[in-house]
A and B are shown apart, each in its own frame.
Chain A
Amino acid sequence: MSKLALVIDKPFEEQSKTAPHDSILPLVLDGVCFDINGHRLLDRISLTLCHGVRTVLLGPNGAGKSLLLRLCHGLLQPTTGRIQWSDNDSRRLHKKQAMVFQRPVLLRRSVAANVAYALAVKGVSNDRRRPMVARALEEVGLAQLARRPARVLSSGEQQRLALARAWALEPEVLFLDEPTANLDPGATRLIEETINAFHRQGTKIVLVTHDLGQARRHADEIVFLHRGRLVERSMAAAFFKRPRSDEAKAFLAGELLD
């Protein structure tokens, strides 16, 4: 097994100046491991995610990117290690995060009802929901389709609806797990525009992708994973210009990592 170079910068903490006073960030991962049936899928990940910076988790398939995202979002619990937000109230934590999956999971209801459901769960009263739903659908360009059953939308529209649902929740942190993996360029562009809109709103973006182009377009910082290990973490510009680890060099050069 090749020796993994662990190269980590730590200038990011200073960037979170604009964080709101009740922010749940930063998110600190400390020695996080995740095992399934004795196989170590994530190995001693330590990482701090801060406000205002778009973080892209990059790496080849099977590197553990999606797994790490799920651990951050709380869908999975680490086998060992610690995942700590700056807020300990689990209800508040839930309300301030949203996640968009690779394959959107939509309820078998209308487009508008899908967004309204998320708001209802969050505890938004009935009469306040309607304008919020309308605004969220407007944002992703689905206002015309509000009454259509969600399941008959095209894949791109379904993913935009998933983003609208997240938009309505006004999260402080948005996790995206390869949101455009199955989409054509046109649909991808619409999704990426919405991701940018989230960023402008001050939402912390944590994006998983193995698409270098997308990483270039969206990353402020890169967290590069390979075989369940955090190999390199750098500012995006530096990463793409001069990757410091052999694995990242190979990945950027388009070599097939195993």
Chain B
Amino acid sequence: MNTLKNQPGQGLAIANVNLRGSSTVPPAQTARMGALPGNREEQPLRIRHPAFRMDVMFTQSFGTAFELIATLDAQLFAIVGLSLQVSVIAVAVAAVIGLPLGAFVAVFDFRGRSAAIALLNTLMGLPPVVVGLIVYLMLSRAGPLGPFGLLFTPTAMVIAQSILVLPIIAALTRQTVADLYGEYTEQLQSLGVGPVRAIPTLLWDGRYSLLTAILAGFGRAIAEVGAVLIVGGNINHVTRVMTTTIALETSKGNLAIALGLGIILLALALAVNAGALFVQGVAQRVEGG
């Protein structure tokens, strides 16, 4: 524990927990203990439900979901807000790197290009826990990035999710841009557009298709639990997001709350995708595809 005590994120979390008077155990440990049955020290959500039977569980969980939303539960909003914040930033970071990277691989014919494409496609399926572990090792006190004190902070979660999302965006971008370049290549060559200049042109002209790539990345980020749990630690008020809360509440037996949160998570993902589909549909009608 000594190695972790001086982390800035930790100090904040400890202060929070002490103010609540519920625990003096350092948060990283709390998060792990939270997974143990019978641990009643952690009470993250105010709405509690008595034990229930399976047949009423779904009705109850829908009820819980609406109750959580309807009562504007502050803690719920903090959790949902952090989930969105971490995932949106992670996707933005991954897009800023992944869009040009994918376009580069699509446009330039360099040695080892096939290997690069195979690697990108493989990395799309990176196991989150492995990424979490590697980022954990990098950010831990003894790791190369230890001095920045980022472990168990939202920043660490953003880093882990960016790494998970980057190959998805880059690989899908490569595919989209390669198809488009196949169509444009002679015309661009005729106009005197070299590959470097072609990259922003193709990214812009593929904007509606690329939205799908970014959405796929967002879907991965918002639904991911393994990496954020490892590098974030599921610390109440600091790094607790929807997925880690669902995992925690499930292990505590609060299935209605867990399911309620799951419903909110699904609804959010659905809303984002529906919005993007709408944008694409309108674009195709207006712009002619």
Q: Is A44 an interface residue (CB 8 A)?
A: no
Q: A107-B205, A151-B289 are in contact. Are A75 and B189 (CB under 8 A)?
A: yes
Q: A64-81: contact bitstring with B at CB < 8 Å (1 yes, 0 no)? A: 000000100111000000
| Interface hit among A97-105, A136-144, A230-238, A239-247 | A97-105
> What is the number of residues of chain B that contact chain A, defined by CB distance less than 8 Å?
19
Interface stretch among B72-80, B179-187, B234-242?
B179-187
Question: Contact: A73 with B205, CB < 8 Å?
Answer: no
B187 & A101 in contact (Cβ 8 Å cutoff): yes
A118 beta carbon closer than 8 Å to chain B? yes
Chain A, residues 84-97, CB within 8 Å of chain B (1/0): the string is 00000001001101
B111 lies within 8 A of chain A by Cβ: no
Closest chain-B Cβ to A74's Cβ sits at a distance in Å of: 8
Q: Bound complex: CA of A95 vs CA of B192, how far in Å?
A: 8
The answer on a CB contact under 8 Å between B192 and A121 is: yes
Determine whether A108 belongs to the interface, using a CB cutoff of 8 Å to chain B: yes
B287 touches A99 (CB 8 A): no
* A118 and B191 form a contact (CB under 8 A): yes
- Least distance between A17 CB and chain B CB atoms (Å): 29
Looking across the interface, which residue of chain A has its beta carbon closest to that of B192? A94
The residue on B at minimum CB distance from A119 is B191
B199 shortest CB reach to chain A, Å: 13
- Which residues 188-208 of B have a CB within 8 angstroms of A? 189-193, 197, 201, 204-207
> Which residue of A is nearest B180, CB measured?
A108
Cross-chain pairs A/B with CB under 8 angstroms, 18 sampled:
A70-B186, A75-B189, A94-B192, A98-B190, A99-B190, A101-B187, A105-B183, A107-B201, A107-B205, A108-B205, A108-B206, A118-B191, A121-B192, A121-B193, A121-B197, A149-B288, A150-B288, A152-B287
Footprint of B on A, CB under 8 Å?
Answer: 70, 73-75, 91, 94-95, 97-99, 101, 105, 107-109, 117-118, 121-122, 149-153
